Amino acid sequence: MAENNSLLTIKNLTKRFGGLTAVCAFDLSVNKNEIAAIIGPNGSGKTTIFNLISCFYRPDEGDIHFMGNSINNLSPPQICQTGIGRTFQTTRLFKHLSVIENLKVGTHTRIRYRFWDELLKTHRLTQSEIRMEKLAHDLLEEFGLKKYTHAIAGNLPYGLQRMVEILRALASSPRLLMLDEPAAGMNPQEAQNLMGIVDQIREKGITVLLVEHNMDVVMEISERIVVLNYGKKIAEGNAEEIQKNPEVIAAYLGEDVENNT
């Protein structure tokens, strides 16, 4: 992978929790406009890596660079303002708010106004709210969820809630979108729809990095797959290479492949 095409570069990333090393000397380079996936058995460190990139955790060792700049010491809000959006393993929607209100929350990192604008209800505040509303409506239209604009988010089926959460992350106008198990809890049709949405996101020029257990989704949409086991990278390649890799097979099946051939 060409270094000058890299959007996210991670080198020697290590995170320990007490005596447990959750991530060990992890390297990764994610290119602009790429769909990449991190997979591995439960507890292999996938979400820990997402939390390190998002600065919810601080690395014990290593560096994370985004668009050529170190982001190790930023706060989670600053990470979002820098151009990294994410979703979580479990939905974190404001379930009592409407779909469009949830999306408007996501626009706040890009549309700013001051305390006095809010207090005095200034023209700048009014224009900012108009822009937030338009951005949210445009996303719902573009991704086929317009009919749910005013639906209460918590009343939607689980698969749709996942989709709304993805659109809320998109409302922050990210350059890199990290999806943490987006297909979790989805039925096959919802997972198929998700793959279409990820393709649409990439067509907008947004790089996608996902953690996912649904192998059908991973193998279908990922251009490059990184495999973790016990916090260490054990393989990296395209779908065909990963499916044939003996270390990957052993990690998932829990057996020594060479001794069973």
Q: Per-residue DSSP letters for 66-84?
A: ETTEE-TT--HHHHHHHTE
pLDDT in tens, 132-161: 888 999 999 999 999 999 999 999 999 999
pLDDT band with cut points at 50, 70 and 90 for residue 2: very low
Tens of pLDDT, residue by residue over 187-240, are 999 999 999 999 999 999 999 999 999 999 999 999 999 999 999 999 999 999
Amino acid identity of residue 26, one-letter, is F
Q: Is the pLDDT of residue 110 over 80?
A: no
Residue 195 exposure: Cα atoms within 13 Å on the Cβ side = 15
Domain boundaries, the chain: 3-95+174-260
Distances from the Cα of 146 to the Cαs of 137, 140, 151, 196, in angstroms? 7, 5, 10, 17
Count of alpha carbons within 13 angstroms of residue 66, beta-carbon side:
21
pTM of the predicted protein model = 0.88
The reported pLDDT for the residue numbered 221 is 95
Separation between Cα atoms, residue 123 and residue 16, nearest integer Å: 49
How buried is 181 (Cβ within 10 angstroms: 0-12 exposed, 13-18 middle, 19+ buried)? buried
Token pair for residue 191? Answer: 């997972």
CATH number, span 3-95+174-260:
3.40.50.300
Asked whether the predicted pLDDT for residue 118 surpasses 50, the reply is yes
* Contacts for 61 with CB less than 8 Å, ≥ 6 apart: 12, 13, 14, 25
